[in-house]
Amino acid sequence: MKIVVASDHGGFTAKEAIVKALEKLGLEVLDLGCRTEESCDYPDYARKVAQAVSQGRAEKGILVCGTGIGMSIAANKFPGVRAAVVWSRETAHLAGEHNWANVLCLSGRLFSGAQHITMIRAWLAAAFGEGRHSRRVKKIIKFESLSCKPRKS
Ligand code: RB5
């Protein structure tokens, strides 16, 4: 499985450790930056990972910023991307089982390296639940063809 990983400065140190850990697990990892702790803009890195997943160049992605929130908001703008912020082994597992999340968004500032790896492993090991979960995710996928016009006042 190919997995793309990126961070902003808030997630840089965590991302470096995550890349090494994923390689140790035998996964094919592509590190899309950033390269230093210098301040940068998280949407630029969310875009790199989300485009790779959206275009089918990678099966899954991991994004790390200060909270994980900005990365998830940006990544979810791309078709086919289901990016989830997770904060525990349980939420990481459920993001895979219930939401079929193909991008995991992590906080680099609120969790330790060991906690990141626990969450990533739970997400990677989770099998999509199918059944009612499939019905719900299909509804989300349909939202991609909606265009919402501003309400006339
Ligand atoms: C950068 O300071 C911070 O805003 C960013 O890493 C992230 O937490 C945004 O959601």
Hey, whose CA ends up nearest to atom 7 of ligand 1? 66
User: Which ligand 1 atom sits closest to the C-alpha of 73?
Assistant: 10
Most distant pair of Cα atoms in the chain: their distance: 57
Q: 28 pLDDT band (50/70/90 cuts)? A: very high
- The answer to whether the Cα torsion of 26, 32, 35, 41 is positive or negative is negative
Question: Does ligand 1 lie within 6 Å of residue 70's CB atom?
Answer: yes
pLDDT tens digit string along 112-132? 999 999 999 999 999 999 899
d(CA 1, CA 60): 8
Of 1.10.150.120, 3.50.50.60, 1.20.1250.20, 3.40.1400.10, the CATH number of 2-144 is 3.40.1400.10
Question: Does ligand 1 lie within 6 Å of residue 107's CB atom?
Answer: no
Hey, whose CA ends up nearest to atom 9 of ligand 1? 70
Q: 150 pLDDT band (50/70/90 cuts)? A: confident
- 76 contact partners, CB below 8 Å, separation of at least 6: 50, 82, 83
Please list the active-site residues: 65, 98
Which residue type sits at 26?
A: G
Contact 115, 64 (CB under 8 A): no
Tokens at residue 152, please? 């006339």
Determine the average pLDDT of the residues in 48-69.
98
Domain boundaries, the chain: 2-144
